[in-house]
């Protein structure tokens, strides 16, 4: 700069070194923040310049403005969104550390699932004596490899309807508070980017009060990389010289309480099959992401038969240390646990096990290539791993009880999430993005360390004879020897899917009891009857029920229904969909109790429309209909409204409560806030090379009324994007 422009010298350098994240000198208005969207022309037009200073001052200001905007653009490129409160909010400097606050991501703990919706939480530590609260926050995400690049694939935030969060209008990929009311936790949804997008970094700023705030330190910065499901992406070369023995316990969590959507009606079919797997070399794998299922694995995934996988593993015995087997968890013991043991060494540090989730088309749970060897050359003391469902890629079925439909050719294995398969019939599909509950949990505990040397000779000795572990037993113990398994029993049903089993016994029962042997003596797997599908099985949808409504309900009850519906529609302005749902539920309670074709005996309860009460009946264990309840209370709670309608109670109560209900549905004119859509995804860059723009927009869904919060003026935003230089 020349000496004749002292104003530019002083102002420019004062600006450039003003503050790390503040790119606006005090004498200019905050509207200069428009530089963050690359709109230099608009920014220049909105800077207030004192015209009385004359043309020379105006020229100096213009030059200085150019320098300021250039520096601001550079600052934005390198610094990203300002991670600090505004001057109006606090004049204090940042407090070192994270203050006990942290960023958490739901679901898979070892990374994000591509295209899945995760819940991102910002909260205080649970160990603090007081409930930590904060007033303001900023949460942003950017690419680890291309920070602050708006065209980078980093996913996008979605908001819960809790009025605690809003999109930051001055920064992309950023959310902030809606009010300064104290809060202890906030949550937002984050749709992860597609596969191959690399790692992303979440950073946050927390303002507790006007004197204390934290940003980007410790738990307020979290790097999340693409998950490989239950496969470990860490270095698999092991440096531990000693060997270790572990206990493995799989606990079933899956139930109609944790996963109520379309839970199998035939509860007696629910199970986790026998666990099968091995501890093995890093270069070996028999299932996991992008694997194509072998014939043996298909038998496991579709029928719960582990014999095929076991045979395939034995063929690869030179790459294995322990062949792992454990008894499955079968109804009514699905929510118990099964235990086995295995050994690992420097040459075989990885663990892979799998178990079928049944009934299902081809779904499994387990871990693949889990590394127990740590970077400090020791063995992990313990691990607790949540297990989620995987699609083996051998069957096209979408629900638990889907009929067999072979996938040809077989597809690659991949994890099932709340958004894959993107089909409402999937029992795990949930477009709201709520985190999926785990189906099972794996507990690994190191039981002992076996001292070994680090010489090459010891390493060669580790290519030893394959160990086989069943439950907690080493199969080589003579006291625990068993007979061969009996032939498989016939399928338990005459149509559709059922179970078959086989048994064996200890050769020396007295010694086995004396030595507390714990080998598996009963083996079960799913089977399909000679008639693959039961008649009427496919007619189980709500449309079919509605179409049969008139024929299935007694004529006297239809007249009561129609009167009640007419009153409800005229008085309460109910939607037809709600009425249809009510009618569907009534059909369930109007069906006759059906024991089904199986030969079991389970006491169940069904609503009897003639007696107008719930009565017990003997259920065979499969099929039947939906008028089937575990307890009398469950039956009464579900069918009580039907009883009320059939006796006319609902009709009379509706008349008596008409005025109250009508008032409740027609409240006084309360303020109605404006509702806008979330910001759209950023458009592709407007150019194929050089510098262009990306744009995003939102639309008004509902205008404000009765003094509610008005609609925002800003419905479009744009940002600078930079691609490869044009040749």
Write a three-state SS string for 397-444.
CCCCCCCCCECCCCCECEECCCCCCCCCCCCCCCCCCCCCCCCEEEEE
Quick check: 576 pLDDT over 50? no
Q: Which two tokens stand for residue 607?
A: 């609503």
Q: DSSP of 439-505, one letter per residue?
A: SEEEEEEEEEEE----SHHHHHHTS-PPEEEETTEETT-GGG-BPPPPPPPPPS-SBSEEEEEEE--
Residue 512 · residue 480 · CB < 8 Å: yes
CA–CA gap between residue 471 and residue 340 (Å, rounded): 4
Counts of helices then strands in the chain (DSSP H, E): 14, 32
Short-list 195, 173, 187, CA closest to 112: 195
Q: What is the pLDDT of residue 537?
A: 44
Quick check: 219 pLDDT over 60? yes
Quick check: 366 pLDDT over 90? yes
More confident site: 575 or 672: 672
CA–CA gap between residue 407 and residue 413 (Å, rounded): 12
Q: What is the pLDDT of residue 519?
A: 83
CA–CA gap between residue 17 and residue 424 (Å, rounded): 55
User: pLDDT category, 180, cuts 50, 70, 90?
Assistant: confident
User: pLDDT category, 349, cuts 50, 70, 90?
Assistant: very high
Angle at alpha carbon of residue 201, lines to 199 and 205, rounded to 5°? 175
* Start and end residues for every CATH 2.20.100.10 domain found in the chain: 675-723
For residues 371-393, average pLDDT: 90
Short-list 289, 445, 268, 426, CA closest to 354: 289
Q: Cis peptide before 69, with omega less than 30 degrees from 0?
A: no
Quick check: 321 pLDDT over 70? yes
Quick check: 632 pLDDT over 80? yes
Q: Is 477 left (phi over 0), alpha (psi -120 to 50) or beta?
A: beta
For residues 659-675, average pLDDT: 55
For residues 206-220, average pLDDT: 89
CA 524 to chain centre: 31
CA–CA gap between residue 195 and residue 217 (Å, rounded): 28
Location of structure tokens 């004119």: 669
For residues 197-207, average pLDDT: 89
User: pLDDT category, 394, cuts 50, 70, 90?
Assistant: very high
Write the pLDDT tens digit of every residue in 10-55: 333 333 333 333 333 333 333 333 333 333 344 444 444 444 445 5
Q: What is the pLDDT of residue 275?
A: 95
User: pLDDT category, 149, cuts 50, 70, 90?
Assistant: low
User: pLDDT category, 498, cuts 50, 70, 90?
Assistant: confident
CA 587 to chain centre: 34
Q: What is the pLDDT of residue 99?
A: 86
CA–CA gap between residue 184 and residue 128 (Å, rounded): 12
Write the pLDDT tens digit of every residue in 91-125: 888 899 888 888 888 654 567 877 777 788 888 87
* Start and end residues for every CATH 2.60.40.4060 domain found in the chain: 101-226
Q: What is the pLDDT of residue 664?
A: 39
Bridge partners of residue 77, in order along the sequence: none
What topology is assigned to 243-450 in CATH? Answer: Immunoglobulin-like (2.60.40)
Torsion of CA 35, 37, 43, 47, to 10 degrees: -50
User: pLDDT category, 411, cuts 50, 70, 90?
Assistant: very high
User: pLDDT category, 641, cuts 50, 70, 90?
Assistant: confident
CA–CA gap between residue 412 and residue 292 (Å, rounded): 5
Q: What is the pLDDT of residue 56?
A: 57
Q: Where are the alpha helices (DSSP H) in 141-249?
A: none
Alpha-carbon Rg for the chain, nearest whole angstrom, is 33
How far CA 639 is from CA of 406, 586, 603, 627, 644, in Å, comes to 39, 7, 18, 9, 9
User: pLDDT category, 669, cuts 50, 70, 90?
Assistant: low
Q: What is the pLDDT of residue 1?
A: 41
Q: Label residues 377-399 b or e (16+ Cβ within 10 Å = b).
A: eebbeebebbbbbbbbbbbbbeb
Mention every residue, 6+ apart, whose C-beta is less than 8 A from residue 651: 560, 563, 564, 567, 645
Quick check: 701 pLDDT over 90? no
Short-list 318, 315, 320, CA closest to 348: 320
CA–CA gap between residue 152 and residue 696 (Å, rounded): 15
Bridge partners of residue 226, in order along the sequence: 112
Q: What is the pLDDT of residue 81?
A: 77
More confident site: 52 or 400: 400
Q: Which two tokens stand for residue 666?
A: 């027609």
Report the share of the chain in percent with pLDDT over 70.
70
More confident site: 403 or 464: 403
Q: What is the pLDDT of residue 126?
A: 57
Q: Are strands 136-143 and 200-207 parallel, antiparallel or unpaired?
A: antiparallel
Give the start-end residues of each E strand in 253-381: 271-272, 275-280, 320-326, 329-330, 337-344, 350-358, 363-371
For residues 681-692, average pLDDT: 78
Q: At what angle do helices 555-572 and 658-665 cross, to 10 degrees?
A: 50
CA–CA gap between residue 329 and residue 335 (Å, rounded): 7
Report the share of the chain in percent with pLDDT over 90.
21
Q: What is the pLDDT of residue 643?
A: 77
Short-list 503, 501, 662, 699, CA closest to 574: 662
For residues 640-649, average pLDDT: 71
Residue 287 · residue 366 · CB < 8 Å: yes
For residues 64-83, average pLDDT: 53
CA–CA gap between residue 334 and residue 324 (Å, rounded): 20
CATH dotted code for 575-647? 4.10.410.10
Average per-residue pLDDT for the chain: 75
Least confident of 9-13, 164-168, 478-482: 9-13
Q: Which two tokens stand for residue 529?
A: 């009857």
Q: What is the pLDDT of residue 206?
A: 92
**Is residue 614 classed as helix, strand or coil in its secondary structure?**
strand
Residue 537 · residue 402 · CB < 8 Å: no
Q: What is the pLDDT of residue 29?
A: 33
What topology is assigned to 675-723 in CATH? Answer: TSP-1 type 1 repeat (2.20.100)
CATH dotted code for 101-226? 2.60.40.4060
How far CA 622 is from CA of 4, 269, 331, 400, in Å, comes to 94, 8, 13, 14
Q: For 560-607, what is the HEC assignment?
A: HHHHHHHHHHHHHCCCHHHHHHHHHHHHHHHCCCCCCCCCCCEEEEEE
Q: Label residues 450-480 b or e (16+ Cβ within 10 Å = b).
A: eebeeeeeeeeeeeeeebbbbbbbeeeeebb
Q: What is the pLDDT of residue 552?
A: 39
């Amino acid at each position: 700069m020349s000496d004749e422009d002292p104003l530019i010298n002083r102002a420019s350098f004062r600006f450039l070194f003003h503050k790390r994240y503040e790119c606006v000198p005090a004498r200019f208005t905050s509207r200069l923040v428009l530089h963050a969207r690359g709109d230099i022309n608009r920014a220049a037009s909105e800077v207030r310049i004192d015209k009385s200073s004359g043309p020379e001052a105006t020229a100096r200001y213009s030059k200085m403005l150019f320098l300021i905007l250039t520096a601001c653009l550079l600052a934005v490129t390198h610094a990203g969104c300002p991670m600090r409160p505004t001057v109006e909010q606090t004049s204090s400097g940042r407090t070192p550390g994270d203050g006990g606050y942290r960023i958490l991501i739901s679901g898979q703990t070892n990374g994000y699932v591509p295209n899945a919706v995760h819940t991102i939480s910002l909260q205080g530590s649970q160990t603090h004596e007081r409930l930590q609260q904060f007033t303001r926050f900023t949460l942003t995400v950017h690419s680890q490899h291309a920070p602050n690049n708006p065209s980078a694939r980093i996913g996008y935030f979605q908001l819960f309807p809790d009025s605690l969060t809003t999109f930051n209008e001055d920064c992309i990929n950023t959310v902030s508070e809606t009010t300064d009311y104290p809060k202890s936790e906030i949550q937002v949804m984050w749709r992860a980017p597609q596969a191959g997008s690399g790692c992303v970094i979440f950073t946050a700023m927390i303002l507790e009060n006007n004197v204390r705030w934290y940003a980007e330190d410790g738990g307020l910065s979290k790097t999340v990389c693409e998950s490989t499901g239950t496969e470990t992406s860490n270095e698999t070369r092991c440096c531990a010289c000693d060997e270790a023995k572990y206990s493995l316990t799989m606990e079933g969590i899956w139930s109609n309480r944790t996963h109520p959507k379309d839970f199998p009606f035939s509860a007696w079919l629910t199970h986790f099959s026998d666990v099968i797997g091995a501890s093995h070399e890093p270069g070996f794998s028999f299932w996991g992401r992008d694997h194509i299922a072998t014939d043996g694995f298909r038998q496991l995934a579709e029928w719960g038969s582990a014999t095929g996988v076991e045979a395939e593993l034995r063929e690869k015995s030179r790459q294995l240390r322990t062949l792992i087997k454990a008894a499955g968890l079968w109804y009514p013991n699905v929510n118990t646990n099964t235990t086995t043991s295995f050994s690992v060494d420097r040459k075989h540090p990885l663990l892979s096990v799998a178990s079928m989730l049944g009934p299902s088309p081809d779904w499994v749970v387990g871990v693949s290539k889990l590394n127990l060897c740590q970077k400090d050359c020791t063995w992990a003391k313990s691990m607790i791993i949540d297990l989620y469902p995987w699609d083996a890629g051998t069957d096209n079925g979408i629900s638990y009880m889907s009929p067999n439909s072979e996938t040809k050719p077989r597809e690659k294995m991949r994890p099932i999430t709340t958004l894959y398969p993107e089909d409402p019939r999937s029992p795990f599909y949930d477009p709201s993005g709520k985190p999926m509950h785990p189906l099972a949990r794996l507990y690994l505990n190191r039981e002992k360390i076996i001292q070994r040397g680090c010489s090459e000779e010891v390493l060669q000795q580790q290519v030893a004879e394959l160990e086989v572990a069943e439950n907690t037993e080493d199969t080589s113990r003579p006291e625990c020897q068993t007979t061969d398994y009996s032939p498989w029993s016939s399928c338990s049903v005459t149509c559709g899917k059922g179970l078959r089993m086989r048994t064996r016994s200890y050769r020396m029962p007295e010694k086995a009891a004396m030595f507390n042997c714990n080998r598996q003596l009963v083996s079960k797997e799913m089977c399909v009857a000679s008639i693959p599908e039961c008649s009427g099985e496919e007619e189980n949808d709500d449309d079919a029920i509605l179409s049969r409504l008139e024929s299935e309900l007694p004529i006297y009850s239809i007249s009561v229904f129609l009167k009640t519906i007419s009153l409800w529609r005229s008085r309460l302005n109910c939607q037809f969909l709600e009425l249809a749902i009510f009618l569907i539920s009534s059909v369930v309670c109007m069906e006759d109790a059906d024991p089904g074709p199986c030969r079991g005996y389970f006491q169940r309860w069904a609503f009897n429309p003639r007696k107008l009460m719930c009565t017990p009946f003997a259920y065979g264990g499969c099929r039947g209909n939906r008028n089937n309840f575990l307890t009398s209370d469950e039956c009464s709670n579900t069918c009580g409204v039907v009883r009320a309608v059939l006796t006319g109670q609902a009709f009379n109560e509706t008349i008596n409560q008409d005025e109250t209900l009508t008032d409740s549905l027609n409240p006084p004119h309360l303020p109605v806030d404006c509702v806008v859509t979330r910001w759209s995804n950023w458009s592709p860059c407007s150019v194929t090379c050089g510098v262009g723009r990306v744009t995003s927009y939102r639309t008004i869904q509902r205008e404000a009324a009765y003094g509610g919060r008005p609609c925002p003026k800003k419905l479009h935003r744009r940002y600078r994007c930079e691609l490869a230089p044009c040749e």
